[in-house]
Amino acid sequence: MLELSQSAQVTAGIVLLAAVTVTSGGAFLAKVATGGVPATEFQRSFFRAGHGHAGVLIVFGLVCLLLSEATVLTGFARWLAATGVLVSAIVLPAGFFFSAMGAGRTRPNRAIAVVWVGGALLVAGLVTLAVGLLTA
């Protein structure tokens, strides 16, 4: 049986409860798809990208949280390995949604930078976890 640290157990519980909010994104996408919310083709594609990344990264982040328990990392490296992907699951999709906001938008606004920050968190978390696993 896998035994989780107290912090991993609490983090996983909070993330699972927060994952329920992804369903509200699905409801929003259904409104966009049925014309209930007007959106350009660009906005539809960015809204789909945001929603898809949120769902996939939550699952991937939970796997990384579990794998981080097998490392001997400490401090910030431990936090990044355990939760970097989970934080990116919030930041990266937010960048897609916020950069597509605004009536009739056909190109991303400056909030597109948030996508790059989320991507950097994703990569940093994955590399830190990989190094932690390979050196454990």
What is the four-CA torsion angle of 73, 77, 83, 88, rounded to 10 degrees? -150
Within-domain flag for 37: yes
Closest-CA residue to 77 (of 130, 28, 36, 41)? 130
Question: Is residue 25 predicted with pLDDT exceeding 90?
Answer: no
Please name the residue ranges forming H helices in 34-111.
41-68, 75-99
Whether 61 and 88 have beta carbons less than 8 Å apart is answered as: yes
Is 72 a domain residue? yes
- Is 70 among the domain residues? yes
Confidence of residue 128 (pLDDT cuts 50, 70, 90): very high
Would you state the pLDDT for residue 22?
A: 85
Name the DSSP class of 95: H
State the total domains in the chain.
1
Does residue 69 surpass a pLDDT of 70?
A: yes
Is residue 123 one of the residues assigned to a domain? Answer: yes
- Alpha carbons 117 and 83: distance in angstroms, whole number: 15
Q: Which domain holds residue 12?
A: 6-134
Q: Given pLDDT bands bounded at 50, 70 and 90, which one contains residue 1? A: low
* Token output for 130: 């990989």
Given a cut of 90, whether residue 12 has pLDDT beyond it is yes
Residue 107 has pLDDT above 80, yes or no: yes
Question: Is the whole model's pTM more than 0.85, yes or no?
Answer: yes
Residue 24: is its pLDDT beyond 90? no
Q: Is residue 1 part of a domain?
A: no
* Residue 41 resides in a domain: yes
